[in-house]
Amino acid sequence: MDVTAALADASTVPFWLDSDQRPEPLPPLTHDLEADLVIVGGGFTGLWTALQAKERDPDRHVVLLEANTIGWAASGRNGGFCAASLTHGYDNGENHLPDENERLAQLGLDNLNEIEAAVARYGMDVEFERTGELDVATEDYQVPALREAHDPESGFIFYDQQELAQLVKSPTYKGALWDSREVAMVNPAKLCWELLRVIRELGVEVFEGTKVTDVSDQKSTVRITTSAQVDGQRAGDSATISAKRVALATNVFPSLLKRVSLHTVPVYDYALMTEPLSAQQLAAIGWDGRQGIGDCANRFHYYRLSADNRILFGGWDAVYHYGRQVSWKYDQRPETFETLAEHFFETFPQLTGLRFSHKWGGPIDTCSRFFPFFTTAYSKKVAMAAGFTGLGVGASRFAGTVMLDQLSGLETELTRLEMVRKLPLPFPPEPVAWLGIQMTTNAMIRADENQGKRGPLLKVLDAVGMGFDS
């Protein structure tokens, strides 16, 4: 297949956001006001925090501020895998928080169930499908670990190569483990827009095009300074809010709390979306269960079917730019798109001739333990969550729960968690950060090429608490 031809007409707008259902932008904040709770950031974390705040106290005056438009960044352009895991996989949780990993696994499943319940309760049209996810082995050495994880009573079902071929047909597959309960598929942009609809109906004031430039302590309150924005540029006078409590949900963007500015780095992730498959093309690959799929390598792919039977195919490259740069100029990366297209047709050669309708990318935030961390400031009048590492579709709601508990001033089960109390190790400043990330990436590539065996650098990172095992 000529991948250049397959990519030739692809739009550079993220597929989910390229919709006539996208709401019209809301006006920016242009006047000073007071609020009980201000939420900074209009992605999943901010939206779920706003919804839960109003559910806990319908009379609370809640204001949500977004510098661009709701869901325009990582929340609206991800793969739409809504996972129960709060720790980016059980094994990664075991590496970092062994004493509470079992409890975190249950809390994560409870959180996913609550997301499903909220979708039903508020009649959200978000294409929610509780399909689970297939972890597929594409190399023989990956099969034994999947087979050992077979536990039907817990919802984990192993398929050998022949059995798997009856589910999804790919010549690259050696076997798979189906996590049947802990992953749902959603349309992420629709989830953002539906959450926006619901919180506004509940009385949350939402201002788009409103960038927060400063958060400062004012003894009994927090002072928030904002400026109106158009396409990322200042376009109006500043306004201020006096808030009793503040939740910061800016994730990949620079932290408003300088003391945690080194705790995250932005990495760029990329994805393709095909045109809709015909009935004949669908029959050629099977996939009747519509599960999400991810392979087992360090440089992994993730892919799923959309509601109109397109295939989203993403992953592989995770690109860090020197100096923690976040810029629209990195959203397109032709060499990655060509690699993904080649891998797509290797995975499904029976779909040769299919074209891609969309190609896009953007930054996600990651931290050194690869799952979210929490902190507070100004006598716990400000709470912050970040570091989701691509698993924020589900974990963002849990983060909102935690922040609201922290801001309540009460000690709860969640605020007592080591996950919540303990910060991950910060990344070093440049040039050490760039050098370390490049060395780690190369070490993970070598591990993939050496039957998954982790070399000296990865073993050292594991020992100091910066290793990753999903």
The CATH number that applies at residue 350 is 3.30.9.10
Is the same domain home to 301 and 174? yes
Strands 373-377 and 382-386: antiparallel
d(CA 101, CA 92): 9
- What does the pLDDT look like over 374-395, one tens digit per residue? 999 999 999 999 999 999 999 9
Who contacts 418 (Cβ-Cβ below 8 Å, separation ≥6)?
A: 97, 99, 100
Same domain, 336 and 285: yes
Spatial contact of 168 and 134, defined as CB atoms under 8 Å apart: yes
Distance of CA 409 to the CA centre of its chain: 28
Domain range for 447: 432-463
3-state class of 34 per DSSP? strand
Using the predicted structure, report yes or no on whether residue 109 has a pLDDT greater than 60: yes
Tokens of 157: 């079902």
Is residue 179 a contact partner of residue 135, using CB atoms and an 8 Å limit?
A: yes
Domain harbouring 37, CATH code: 3.50.50.60
Written as one letter, the residue type at 420 is V
| Cβ neighbours around 410 below 10 Å, total | 8
Token digits of residue 324: 């923690």
Distance between CA 130 and CA 178 in Å, rounded?
A: 12
In degrees rounded to 5, what are phi and psi of residue 379? 55, 40
- As a whole number of angstroms, the distance between CA 223 and CA 219 comes to 10
For residue 110, what are the CA distances in angstroms to 91, 382, 410? 19, 26, 21
End-of-domain residue from the set 322, 340, 366: 366
Query: In this structure, are 178 and 274 located in the same domain?
Result: yes
CA distance 385 to 264: 11
- Do 415 and 377 lie in one domain? The reply is yes
- Answer yes or no: is pLDDT of 469 > 60: no
Q: Are 133 and 268 in a shared domain?
A: yes
- Confidence at residue 138, expressed as pLDDT on a 0 to 100 scale: 96
CA distance 211 to 233: 10
177 and 288 assigned to the same domain: yes
* 355 and 394 housed in the same domain: no
Cα distances (angstroms) measured from residue 189 to each of 46, 64, 76, 103, 249: 14, 18, 4, 30, 17
In a shared domain, residues 181 and 269: yes
Whole-number Å distance between alpha carbons of 312 and 360: 11
In a domain, 470, yes or no: no
Structure tokens at 279: 């009935």
**Is residue 155 domain-shared with residue 39, that is, in the same domain?**
no
The tokens describing 112, both together, are: 């996913």
Residue 62 lies in a domain: yes
Residue, of 100 and 451, whose pLDDT is higher: 100
Last residue of a domain, one of 350, 366, 382: 366
* Residue of 275 and 436 predicted with greater confidence: 275
pLDDT (0 to 100) of residue 468:
59
- Which tokens is 284 given? 């050629």
Which pLDDT value is given to residue 283? 97
Residue 109 lies in a domain: no
- Residue 1 has a pLDDT of 61
Residue 306 has what pLDDT?
A: 98
How many domains does the chain contain in total?
A: 3
- Any domain includes 55: yes
Among 251-260, 345-354, 435-444, 452-461, whose mean pLDDT is lowest? Answer: 452-461
Find tokens 């045109």 and name the residue.
275
Distance CA 243, CA 384 (A): 15
Token readout for 50 is 């706003």
Instruction: State how far the Cα of 160 lies from the Cα of 326, in Å rounded to an integer.
Output: 42
Decide if pLDDT at 107 tops 80: yes
Distances (CA, A) of 102 to 280, 402, 463: 44, 18, 21
Type of residue numbered 195: L
Return the pLDDT at 294: 97
Please report which residue ranges of 57-139 form alpha helices under DSSP H: 74-77, 90-96, 101-121
Residue-wise pLDDT for 131-166, tens only, equals 999 999 999 999 999 999 999 999 999 999 999 999
Contact by Cβ (8 Å): 171, 205: no
Does residue 83 surpass a pLDDT of 80? Answer: yes
Residue 100 within any structural domain of the chain:
no
Q: Say how far residue 211 (Cα) sits from the centre of its chain.
A: 22
233 pLDDT higher than 70: no
In a domain, 114, yes or no: no
Residues 282-335 pLDDT 10s: 999 999 999 999 999 888 999 999 999 999 999 998 999 999 999 999 999 999
Whether residue 293 sits in one domain with residue 350: yes
Q: Could you tell me if 382 and 447 lie in one domain? A: no
Cis upstream peptide for 266 (omega within 30°): no
Q: Give 374's strand partners.
A: 385
Kindly state whether residue 469 falls inside one of the protein's structural domains.
Answer: no
> How high is the mean pLDDT of the chain?
94
Domain-terminating residue out of 323, 351, 366:
366
Say if 119 falls within a structural domain: no
**pLDDT tens, 332-369?**
999 999 999 999 999 999 999 999 999 999 999 999 99
- Calculate mean pLDDT across residues 43-70: 98
> How far apart are alpha carbons 7 and 4 in whole angstroms?
5
- Per-residue pLDDT, 459: 75
- 209 plus 66 within the same structural domain: yes
